[in-house]
Amino acid sequence: MATREERLTALRTAVEQWADGELERLNAEVDYLERVKQAASASGQLSEASQGRTQELLEDEINAYLT
């Protein structure tokens, strides 16, 4: 049978391994969410640029029709 110190050491080792794995998992999740945020931001910028250009073309077409 293991002594108290051996059991405590085994528990400490298990907790440290779990904490290291959990930290790695959370860091990976943060990286993923940052990439998702960047992609959403980039598509938002593209959408804004597209809307601006569409508005310019529409204004040009209306001005051409009215003149």
Tell me if 51 is assigned to some domain. Answer: yes
> What residue has token string 């779990």?
18
- Say which residues have a Cβ less than 8 Å from residue 10's Cβ, sequence separation at least 6: 2
Residue 50 lies in a domain: yes
Closest CA relative to residue 36, chosen from 47, 25, 44: 44
57 in any annotated domain: yes
d(Cα 29, Cα 27) in Å, to the nearest integer? 5
The rounded distance, in Å, linking the Cα atoms of 7 and 29 is 33
Domain count across the chain: 1
Percent of the chain past pLDDT 70, that is, above it, reads: 96
Extract the tokens encoding 52: 């601006």
Please report whether residue 56 resides in a domain: yes
| pLDDT above 70: residue 63 | yes
User: Which of the pair, 38 or 47, is modelled with greater confidence?
Assistant: 38
